[in-house]
Structure 1
Amino acid sequence: MRNLKFLPALIGAILGIAVIIYVAFYFIFLDLFVDLWWFQSLKQEPYFWLRLLYRFFLSGGVTLAFFLIFFFHFWVASRYLGLNPPDEILTDLDKRRRFQRFADVFMSGSAKVYTPISLILAVFIAIPFYRQWESALLYFFGQPSGATDTVYGNDISFYLLSYPIYLLIQKELLTAAIVIFIAVGILYWLEHIFIPNQNKEYHIGAKIHLTVLIGFVVLFVVWGFMLDRFALLYNHSHEPVFFGPGFVEINYKLPLIWLGIFTFVAVAITGLLFIFSKEHRVKGPFFISSAAFLFVWFLPNVDSIPAAIQKYIVNPNPVKAEKPFMQHNIDATLNAYDLRNIKIVDQRINLNAAEDIATWSTQKRFENIPVWDREYLINSYQQLQEIRPYYAFFSVDEDRYFLLGHTRQVNLAAREVNIGKLPEAAHTWENTHLRYTHGSGAVATPAAQDADIPLVWYLRDLNLYSPVGLTTKNPDIYYGEGSYDYAVVPNTLNVVGLEPADPSIERQYTGEGGIPIPSWFRKALFAFYFKDEKIFFSISITDKSKMLIRRNITERINAMTPFLHLDKDPYLVVAKDRFYWIQDAYTLSKWYPASKPAADEYLEGDQPFNYIRNSVKIVVDAYDGAVDYYIADPSDVLINAYARAYPSLFKNMEEMPLELQKHLRYPRDLYYMQMKVFAKYHQTRPELFYEQAETWQFANVRGEEVKPYYQTMDFGNCNDKEEFVMINPMTPINRDNLSMIGVASILNKEACGNSYKPGITVYRFRKEVQVNGPAQVEALINQDPEISAQFTLWNQGGSRVELGRMVILPMGNTVLYVQPVYLVSTKVKIPELRRVIVSIGNEVVMEKTLWAALNRLKQTFIKEASESNGSGTAAPTAQ
């Protein structure tokens, strides 16, 4: 019966251990095992362990350091117990022994108390480091960038890599020092009052210890003041004029910070003299320095002083007073957004373009003008080429391929698996995870073609028919843009997939990707991981099967490298052996000094930033799921720090296969954001920047911005070599006429090879001649009686006319406008390209082909020139 008394305790212990094991298994070991196997399947096991060890050592090291700090000071404080006993204890042997026993018990007992307290305090202080361990990693692996800020002259790497971690360390060290000082002071006080007949004075050792702790508090406060100087670089009180420190910050607030440092140090020194002086006689200097510090500390809270400086000194002479600070902001912003090396070309415009049209002698120049918009093509692809209900096209990409004798711009899309359109009864576990496991092939069409003919296909159907030789050996797509669930392949079921030669043959997965499932143990762990017992009991899963997880490419990359920020538009590449996805990735920071923060949510997520680099190009194998990282911008200090921390992860751009290098492009999101910033910051002189008279905006038509678009064109830079560029037209603020056309290219114009060298050229138009913007060209289109009548006719009988994206190109001394006209059925919603409108100057024509439209325009200009010379009438002028 006695043993039964311990039964509840035994049962409780067993249950507690079981709960601990269950929690540890589910939330630690299970995820750890699966992640390890996943990284092994990607051949990135060294990177997995490095990342895990960095996090463990940095977080654990900080916790251990703070624990030792707390423990040491508590231990030192407990050692002073009994060093100042009453005189009768020292002379009475019996009392001395009793006192010593009391002291020993107190000190040994207190160790059991302050050890867990030290650990709890250490964990509490170190929590912010657990969240920002990657900032510490960058600090340890960072190197100078070679560029300096113009305000304090520090290397930019200090702000991007060191300053954030210094802020964190200073805050936590100051908190720890204050906590230790209070706790040790209480401990000394308790020791002092619990021992009877103690002297009134504390022992000199206790005073020295507390003085040292005060010294640390003073040191960390002073460090905080020093860091406050850099906080002025992120001042936003002068917006919307400029960002960063201004006259008030540098000439009033910065001196106050230095004055605050001096007066605080004076308070600390005079305070120590006051404490250690005999009977605390040194009072005057302490109270004077304290009053001075409180006065200086209070001054920044008095808004009337800086307001008066702003009102009476700055505002009457704003450009003169703020000129150097606006220049700081301009220079910093251009550097932070990689806009310093933009090439600006002052473009002369000839309104009579007859001569220019005559020089456009080769059709190659115009065959790539993209009259098919991807926003319209997606409907055609889905209606005509999904073919099976379990396939889907999620997006249309733009690229260029060498076809039919030269580089041609194409639109293409991957045919991915999506069982959402199957009947509900088909949404079974086997269909979802074993049968409908992958997509098949892709479609491609030329971006340019003549109107009023059926859509031309470069790649189509499940057998990958291509009249231009655009083929791939392995068309299966296991990784893509869709919302993929896990798949187990190969298995004993027939999987969906069609051989080009024999549609009746269904092929099994033979790729190297995926996590092997060679044992019942792994099957059991995966069943637990996915909370799906069918994985364990399914007889269709063999020891040759592999588990494919994280098959959405964005999810896949984020799981591997969460510190990179991804462009919203990954794109497909058709290679000889298989399909690949190329994903642009960015490194961001909000710590670039005096740089204007990004105003809009250009990228996914809500991280604020004022520095960006397209530092990495990521290639994802659509069949195997392999992920390769290539450094695209070696000048970026952030990616260089990551590359030193993870040497096995990143590769040089030269290591990318040449077949993929040919398909690199300038990222759309990055270019849009850069132009948004450059619209204001191209005004590099402070006087002009302050006036904002030359500020640009995105061209606007039908109430929407004209976003940057891709164009393949020979701009005459490299011996008739065509470039795949991104074009962006902009107008003056609140005006419709065109100010400039920006062209972003990746062509190395010096070597004229395939090496990746991104750059931006801005064709800026002079003010003496008006250049029509897209809204003005569309107004000319609507005013043309022939075009208007045709639109009215087409807008009947169950169809409607829709105008596509207007293409605007700088061509010699002329600006060419091309507007596709679609006819969309209200029932089927498959768009048809019916006409192409071409405009130069103030003339517009509508034809089925570009060349027919250009010939009509040429004749029009020749006729106008002839009439002008013969009758004396004026040449065409801008409206």
Structure 2
Amino acid sequence: MRNRKLLPALAGATIVGAIVLYVAFYFVFLDFFVDLWWFRSLDFEGYFWLRLLYRFIFSGAVTIFFFAIFQFHFWIASRYLGLNPPDEVLLDDKKRRRFQRFADVFMSGSVKVYSVVSLILAIAIAVPFYLQWEDALLFFFGSDSGFTDPVYGNDISFYLFSYPIYMLIQKELLFTATLVFLATGVLYWMEHIFIPNQGKEFPLGAKIHLSVLFIFIAFFVEWGFMLDRFTLLYSNTREPVFFGPGFVNLRFHLPLIWLSIVAFFVIVCCILFYVFSERHRSKTPIVISALSFVAILSLQSSDFLPMLIDKFIVMPNPTKTEGPFMRYNIDATLGAYDLNNITTVDFPINLDPTTDIETWSNKKHFENIPVWDREFLIDTYQQLQAIRPYYRFKAVDEDRYFIHNHLQQVNLAAREVNIKKLPREAQNWENTHLRYTHGYGAVVSPAAQDAGIPIVWYLRDLNMTSDVGFSVENPDIYYGQEKLVYAIVPNSLVIEDISGSNQDGSRQYKGDSGIPISSYFRKLLFAFYFRDEKIFFSPNISTESKLLIRRNIDERISTLTPFLHLDKDPYLVIEKDRLYWIQDAYTLSNMYPVSQPAADDFLDGKQEFNYIRNSVKIVVDAYDGGVDYYISEPHDPIINAYNRAYPGLFKSLQEMPVNLSRHLRYPRDLYYMQMKLYAKYHQNSPELFYEQAETWQYASVDGEPVLPYFITMDFGRCHNSEEYVMVNPMTPVHRDNLSMVGLAGTMDLKKCDNAYKPGITIFKFPKAVQVNGPSQVNALIDQNPEIAGQFTLWNQMGSEVKKGRMIILPMGGSILYVQPIYMLATKTKMPELARVIVSIGNQVVMDKTLNAAFERLKDMFIKQATGSSSGTSGANP
């Protein structure tokens, strides 16, 4: 009978044990070893262990610390200070021994309970520290930035590193102290209830113990009030005028915070005096100080007095009362978004552009203007150069290469593998993971092309044909932008010419990365990891095979360094040995004091921040997946903290190979976000900032903003050298005339060398002169009868006319507009560059080539200047 009763318990314990082992195996053991082998394959094993140790050493230390606090106070309360027998018990040996025996049983039994309770409470309180362990890492490894906030004079690093962890520590310690105080008080009460012959009064030791805990609570409350002062730096009560503390915050709320600190201190002193005073006990001081404290808190939460101050003091003269605080916001925002070093150039406008046209038409390589938009070009690439159904171009990138003896802008794209385009019956396990494992090669075309002729190719086809010198030794793409699944290479399959090139199509993977499948044990583990038994039973996987995982570059980098925030637009670089991806990465913080928070249309839209730096350039080898991190912003305190925490992870930008550093560029998304802020914050005096009379907005055409775009041109700033810059135009708010054109480049304009030095130049136009914006030029195009007639004709011929991106180019003292015109076939939707429109001033011409259109435009202005032409514009069909 006894054995029968044990059987259900044994079965239950077995089932529970099996579940625990299953969960531990799948979610701890497997993940841990696969991650370890993967980091090791990338030569990041030391970083893997260091990151793991930081996390668990910190969380373990915090858990032990809080366990010690609970255990110590519970032990004191149960063992020493709580026992208070009357004198008759102490004088009677028999009563004393009976009392001591009962007390010993109570104390020895309770220690076991306290230990378990202390551990549970410590783990619960340590959870927030475990979740925010990276904040603690920055706290320990951060250093001064050299810049101070304008309100309290603290170094900016205090807010980036110390303030977040102080808020967490204060909250957790206050909760812990309060919990210990209440629990200890309950223990003392229980001792009086359950231990017989206790005295009616608490002993002096118990009073001291509880008083010390009360003092700790008071200290943490006071610390919380002190930290509350810094919350004013992130106030949004003055928006939309400006962000940060205003007159009411710093002249009304801040003094009240100091008064609340003093009032609470007085309350604590009164309570302690009342507890320990044996004579003249009175609750009056406690009541008075408590009422004063409540009154102060009420004033803090009240809106009535701030409303009166705002109405009768601030609003009658806002620029005087709020001026210093607007200045705080302007300076902080410009510093937080790295907008302090923008160069502003007054751009004089020539009403007669004839001289500019003659000068610039003779400039070397002036024809290097991009007329192919990547949004249109990707369909052309896909239809003409994908060639095989399992290849796809995920995105088209822009870059510059030295071609035809000068720097020339090109469009390029990687031919990545996507087996979802195969017939469904071919999408089996062997094809997915062993055969169609990688993409192949890339295509390159010049960004500047003539219309009406077939597209020109600099690199094309699966045999990598190039007439301009492009050659790649290992064009295979195992790592890219596609959502690639795991691959096992090399394997025993004989793959017949999948790439379709003239090279040996069955050549095997020889990359350095990948997790070796060196034994049947590893095959078994990987089969469990992917829940796929085919890995273990496949005869085509040998001991020479490697497992390639996390092949999407975004996933790969995010797994390695989750503390970096990635740009949405990685781009391809073609080199002699292989293809590479360059990914821009950012460090962010939402704790920069008085800085305007960024809009929610940056990165993934989920990041809340008011500080950003493009601190890291990441290079990913498209062939073997190697990842290298280069610090591009050495003055960023956040990346410097990570660099100290993880020695060896980051390299200096000077260590990047020169052939790759030539392709570094200013990030498009960063520039877009910076210019959105600078459109308001370029008004850097409180008076202008308050008036908002010169606020800008992105120029638009047909309701769509003209987003930043790349162009390679000699702007006359660097000894006849082409610069690769990003351009964005802006207009006044609710107006269409042009206010400025911004250039974001990477060349050191003082040395004019290839060293990466990002900078922004603003060409600002005079307010008194009308400069046509993109929307106005678009209207001139639509109003031109010859151009409109040509569009109508094309639209009736089974094609659809599409306008490309409008390119704006500062040219001497004139503004040149170039807009490509595409025709899309009704059936294939493949775009063709049909014409190019060029405009200066109010003149518009359309032709097949940029040079021809520009010459016609020049002739028109020359004739107009001599009075022999009416200056009408037109189109050349």
* TM-score normalised according to structure 2 size: 0.98
Q: Secondary structure at the match of 1:58?
A: helix
Indicate the larger mover: 289-298 or 451-460.
Answer: 289-298
> CA separation in 1, counterparts of 2:200 and 2:788?
102
Following superposition, the deviation at residue 18 of structure 1 comes to 2.2
> Counterpart of 1:678 in structure 2: which amino acid?
Y
Residue 625 of structure 1 is matched in structure 2 by: 625
Confirm whether residue 490 of structure 1 aligns to residue 494 of structure 2. no
Alpha carbons 1:86, 1:197 under 8 Å: kept: yes
> Counterpart of 2:442 in structure 1: which amino acid?
A
Following superposition, the deviation at residue 354 of structure 1 comes to 1.0
In 2 relative to 1, CA 165–800 (structure 1 residues): closer, same or farther, beyond 3 Å? Answer: same
Alpha carbons 2:361, 2:854 under 8 Å: kept: no
> CA separation in 1, counterparts of 2:63 and 2:731?
56
Following superposition, the deviation at residue 2 of structure 1 comes to 5.3
Following superposition, the deviation at residue 502 of structure 1 comes to 2.7
> Counterpart of 1:692 in structure 2: which amino acid?
Q
Residue 661 of structure 2 is matched in structure 1 by: 661
Alpha carbons 1:497, 1:507 under 8 Å: kept: no
How far does the alpha carbon of each residue in 1:125-146 deviate from its partner, in whole angstroms, 9 at most, with x for none?
Answer: 1111111110000000000000
> CA separation in 2, counterparts of 1:420 and 1:684?
53
How far does the alpha carbon of each residue in 1:435-455 deviate from its partner, in whole angstroms, 9 at most, with x for none?
Answer: 000000000100001111110
Indicate the larger mover: 106-115 or 688-697.
Answer: 106-115
Following superposition, the deviation at residue 538 of structure 1 comes to 0.5
Residue 877 of structure 1 is matched in structure 2 by: none
> CA separation in 1, counterparts of 2:22 and 2:866?
91
Residue 544 of structure 2 is matched in structure 1 by: 544
Alpha carbons 2:82, 2:202 under 8 Å: kept: no
Q: Which residues in structure 2 correspond to 1:390-409 (within 5 Å)?
A: 390-409=390-409
Q: Which residues in structure 2 correspond to 1:637-648 (within 5 Å)?
A: 637-648=637-648
> CA separation in 2, counterparts of 1:728 and 1:95?
92
Indicate the larger mover: 488-497 or 358-367.
Answer: 358-367
Alpha carbons 2:82, 2:206 under 8 Å: kept: no
Alpha carbons 1:451, 1:836 under 8 Å: kept: yes
Following superposition, the deviation at residue 863 of structure 1 comes to 1.6
> CA separation in 1, counterparts of 2:788 and 2:227?
65
Alpha carbons 1:323, 1:686 under 8 Å: kept: yes
Indicate the larger mover: 197-206 or 623-632.
Answer: 197-206
Following superposition, the deviation at residue 365 of structure 1 comes to 3.6
Alpha carbons 2:333, 2:596 under 8 Å: kept: yes
> Counterpart of 2:827 in structure 1: which amino acid?
K
Residue 857 of structure 1 is matched in structure 2 by: 857
> CA separation in 2, counterparts of 1:437 and 1:173?
54
Q: Which residues in structure 2 correspond to 1:421-570 (within 5 Å)?
A: 421-495=421-495, 502-503=502-503, 505-570=505-570
Alpha carbons 1:437, 1:495 under 8 Å: kept: no
> Counterpart of 2:441 in structure 1: which amino acid?
G
Residue 244 of structure 2 is matched in structure 1 by: 244
Alpha carbons 2:741, 2:762 under 8 Å: kept: yes
How far does the alpha carbon of each residue in 1:733-771 deviate from its partner, in whole angstroms, 9 at most, with x for none?
Answer: 000000000000110112221111111000000012111
> Counterpart of 1:31 in structure 2: which amino acid?
D
Residue 845 of structure 1 is matched in structure 2 by: 845
Following superposition, the deviation at residue 300 of structure 1 comes to 1.2
Confirm whether residue 366 of structure 1 aligns to residue 373 of structure 2. no
Confirm whether residue 304 of structure 1 aligns to residue 304 of structure 2. yes
Q: Secondary structure at the match of 1:62?
A: helix
Q: Which residues in structure 2 correspond to 1:123-522 (within 5 Å)?
A: 123-278=123-278, 281-362=281-362, 364-495=364-495, 502-503=502-503, 505-522=505-522
Residue 709 of structure 1 is matched in structure 2 by: 709
Residue 875 of structure 2 is matched in structure 1 by: none
How far does the alpha carbon of each residue in 1:377-432 deviate from its partner, in whole angstroms, 9 at most, with x for none?
Answer: 00000000110011001100000000111110000000000011111100100000
Q: Secondary structure at the match of 2:357?
A: helix
Alpha carbons 1:436, 1:496 under 8 Å: kept: no
Residue 610 of structure 1 is matched in structure 2 by: 610
In 2 relative to 1, CA 82–380 (structure 1 residues): closer, same or farther, beyond 3 Å? Answer: closer
Q: Secondary structure at the match of 2:745?
A: strand
Confirm whether residue 743 of structure 1 aligns to residue 755 of structure 2. no
Q: Secondary structure at the match of 2:780?
A: helix
> CA separation in 1, counterparts of 2:5 and 2:289?
69
How many pairs does the alignment contain?
A: 871
> CA separation in 2, counterparts of 1:189 and 1:127?
31
> Counterpart of 2:526 in structure 1: which amino acid?
F
Residue 723 of structure 1 is matched in structure 2 by: 723
> CA separation in 1, counterparts of 2:724 and 2:103?
82
Following superposition, the deviation at residue 8 of structure 1 comes to 3.5
> Counterpart of 1:287 in structure 2: which amino acid?
V
Confirm whether residue 760 of structure 1 aligns to residue 760 of structure 2. yes
Following superposition, the deviation at residue 495 of structure 1 comes to 3.7
Following superposition, the deviation at residue 22 of structure 1 comes to 1.4
Q: Secondary structure at the match of 1:278?
A: coil
Alpha carbons 2:99, 2:197 under 8 Å: kept: no
> CA separation in 1, counterparts of 2:505 and 2:600?
51
> Counterpart of 2:21 in structure 1: which amino acid?
I
How far does the alpha carbon of each residue in 1:289-332 deviate from its partner, in whole angstroms, 9 at most, with x for none?
Answer: 11111111111121101011111110111111100000000000
How far does the alpha carbon of each residue in 1:99-141 deviate from its partner, in whole angstroms, 9 at most, with x for none?
Answer: 1111111111110111111111111111111111100000000
Following superposition, the deviation at residue 82 of structure 1 comes to 6.4
> Counterpart of 1:450 in structure 2: which amino acid?
D
> Counterpart of 2:680 in structure 1: which amino acid?
K
Residue 34 of structure 1 is matched in structure 2 by: 34
Q: Secondary structure at the match of 2:364?
A: helix
Residue 784 of structure 1 is matched in structure 2 by: 784
> Counterpart of 1:242 in structure 2: which amino acid?
F
In 2 relative to 1, CA 363–801 (structure 1 residues): closer, same or farther, beyond 3 Å? Answer: farther
> CA separation in 1, counterparts of 2:662 and 2:60?
46
Alpha carbons 1:488, 1:548 under 8 Å: kept: yes
Alpha carbons 1:498, 1:504 under 8 Å: kept: no
Residue 874 of structure 2 is matched in structure 1 by: none
Alpha carbons 2:102, 2:195 under 8 Å: kept: no
Indicate the larger mover: 672-681 or 313-322.
Answer: 313-322
Q: Secondary structure at the match of 2:470?
A: coil
Q: Secondary structure at the match of 1:211?
A: helix
Q: Secondary structure at the match of 2:322?
A: helix
> Counterpart of 1:292 in structure 2: which amino acid?
S
Residue 876 of structure 1 is matched in structure 2 by: none
Following superposition, the deviation at residue 499 of structure 1 comes to 7.1
Indicate the larger mover: 742-751 or 76-85.
Answer: 76-85
> CA separation in 2, counterparts of 1:49 and 1:798?
63
> CA separation in 2, counterparts of 1:847 and 1:748?
36
Confirm whether residue 103 of structure 1 aligns to residue 103 of structure 2. yes
> CA separation in 1, counterparts of 2:708 and 2:821?
19
Following superposition, the deviation at residue 504 of structure 1 comes to 6.1
> Counterpart of 2:740 in structure 1: which amino acid?
M
- Extract unaligned runs of 5+ from structure 1: 874-879
Following superposition, the deviation at residue 11 of structure 1 comes to 3.2
Residue 11 of structure 1 is matched in structure 2 by: 11
Following superposition, the deviation at residue 817 of structure 1 comes to 0.3
